[in-house]
Amino acid sequence: ETGVTQSPTHLIKTRGQQVTLRCSSQSGHNTVSWYQQALGQGPQFIFQYYREEENGRGNFPPRFSGLQFPNYSSELNVNALELDDSALYLCASSLYGPGYTFGSGTRLTVV
């Protein structure tokens, strides 16, 4: 059974740029959730995708968007990057529910 894999592991971007983070879900899982974890904080729910449609969203602005593909892999896109977007971005997949299997995350630094 494969786990959840995320790429890249680390990324440095400049304020105002756009970034795409990728996630490969655990085999058989049709639901993917994305979380943002700022330094010293617990993860915060960004949104969830189920069968390729956004299926719930946290308190994040529209410049955070996502996609889920037919093979259930997923992307998180962030436009117009701000310094406060610097964080660990975690992807979690599940077959049903809020997501139990997390990836190791992508560390995004905005300078």
Residues numbered 20-39 forming contacts with other proteins, rule: CB under 8 A:
30-31, 33, 35
Using the rule CB under 8 A, which residue among 48, 68, 86, 93 binds other proteins?
48
Q: Return all residues near 42 (Cβ < 8 A) that are at least 6 apart.
A: none
Q: Binding of other proteins at residue 63 (CB under 8 A)?
A: no
Q: Binding of other proteins at residue 86 (CB under 8 A)?
A: no
- What does the H/E/C string look like for 44-95? EEEEEEECCEEEEECCCCCCEEEEECCCCCEEEEECCCCHHHCEEEEEEEEC
Q: Return all residues near 78 (Cβ < 8 A) that are at least 6 apart.
A: 18, 19, 21, 63, 64, 65, 85, 108
Using the rule CB under 8 A, which residue among 50, 67, 73, 75 binds other proteins?
50
Q: Binding of other proteins at residue 73 (CB under 8 A)?
A: no
Using the rule CB under 8 A, which residue among 41, 77, 79, 109 binds other proteins?
41
- Name the residues that contact other proteins, by CB under 8 A: 4, 6, 30-31, 33, 35, 41-45, 48, 50-51, 55-56, 58, 90, 92, 94, 96-105, 107
